[in-house]
Structure 1
Amino acid sequence: MNDDDRDGRVRLDKWLWAARFYKTRSLAAEDIGKGRIEVNGQPAKASRELREGDLITIRHPQQPRTVSVKGLSAVRGPAPAAQRLYEETAESLARRAQIAEQRRFGSEPAQTIEQGRPTKRDRRRLADWERWSASADAVRRERGQR
């Protein structure tokens, strides 16, 4: 336990790292710098000191979350200990479940591709087309080939 913990305050980037929202503090600080993290509805800086009861909004592209700070720690521990540092709000849980359901029932990106990869036959036609010359085309016409 260091001075930050005893004082009841921890830097935001350290807490996000200790609560296992980010793999490194620098990744947490980068997202904070991009404005993806808000504390109590206001944009935050990495050096912002958290207190218990603060509401943090994390806007990950795939999993947006809103959590309430339940404990403070500047030390990264095991996952069960990290989960005790916060509590996710009911609205956040419902929104994440809705996003997961939309992803599950959404359209498959591969189905939007109309042509896809060329077949072997298509590749041969492309290769023939690239080697086209007037004389080769005349020979093909004489033979009845396309």
Structure 2
Amino acid sequence: MTPPPQGPRGPAAPAGPLAHAFRRRRVGRMADDDGTGGGGAVRVDSWIWSVRLTKTRSQAATACRGGHVRVNGERVKPAQSLRPGDEVRLFHAGHERIVVVSRLIRKRVGAPAAVQCYVDNTPPPPPREFAAPTGVRDRGAGRPTKRDRREMDRLQGRQG
């Protein structure tokens, strides 16, 4: 029995109906180096998920539908196309991420490869001393009463 033919990176690609699937898997998950990706554009929700700005694609699509994603300053739907050079603003998990698309990818990749696909222009978070202090209640004090809530609102500067 003869061993299978070897290519520069392992077994040679099979011929026949499996050849296309084998080549596509082996080529990798990145789009072309010029950023066109062969087809030209990628869906916003898919790209946000691919570069790991959200944990799931459905979270990315929900954020788009909810108006939490802006491309070049305009709200977008999940199927909106992205191009290299677009600025994507995503409000997620309590803060806004501002990234500029440098490379298009279609599939989720590892974190080191994902970071190469965008330029992060997100401003740093404010220092802790500038953040509003949160109220601390004694352990076992139970739920705050209506009076306690009014006092907390008055201390925090919220008038209701």
TM interval, shorter chain, is 0.5 to 0.7
Where in structure 1 do 4 or more consecutive aligned residues deviate above 6 Å?
none
Deviations 1:44-88 (A, max 9, x none): 000001000000111124221111000000110110001111101
Task: Say whether 1:74 aligns with 2:106.
Answer: yes
C-alpha distance 37-108 of structure 1, shift in aligned 2 (>3 A): same
Go from structure 1 to structure 2 and tell me whether the alpha carbon gap of 1:11 and 1:118 turns closer, same or farther (over 3 Å shift). Answer: closer
Name structure 1 gaps, 5 residues minimum. Answer: 120-146
Structure 2 partner of 1:97: 125
Provide structure 2 residue ranges, at least 5 long, that are not aligned to the other structure.
1-28, 143-160
CA separation of 1:118/1:74 partners in 2, compared to 1, >3 Å: closer, same or farther?
same
CA distance, structure 1, for counterparts of residue 125 and residue 110 of structure 2:
25
Aligned match of 2:55: 23
1 or 2, which has the higher helix percentage?
1
Mapped partners of 1:103, 1:22: distance in 2? 29
The two structures have a TM-score, normalised by structure 1, of 0.66
Residue 109, structure 1, aligned to residue 135, structure 2? yes
Q: Distance in 2 between matches of 1:60 and 1:106?
A: 20
| Structure 2 counterpart of 1:60, one-letter code | H
TM-score (norm 2): 0.60
RMSD: 2.4
Look up the SS of the partner of 1:64 in the other structure.
strand
Q: Which residue of 2 aligns with 1:124?
A: none
Structure 2: distance between partners of 1:15 and 1:103: 35
Instruction: Give the fraction of aligned pairs with identical amino acids, expressed as a percent.
Output: 30
Secondary structure in 1 matching 2:64: helix
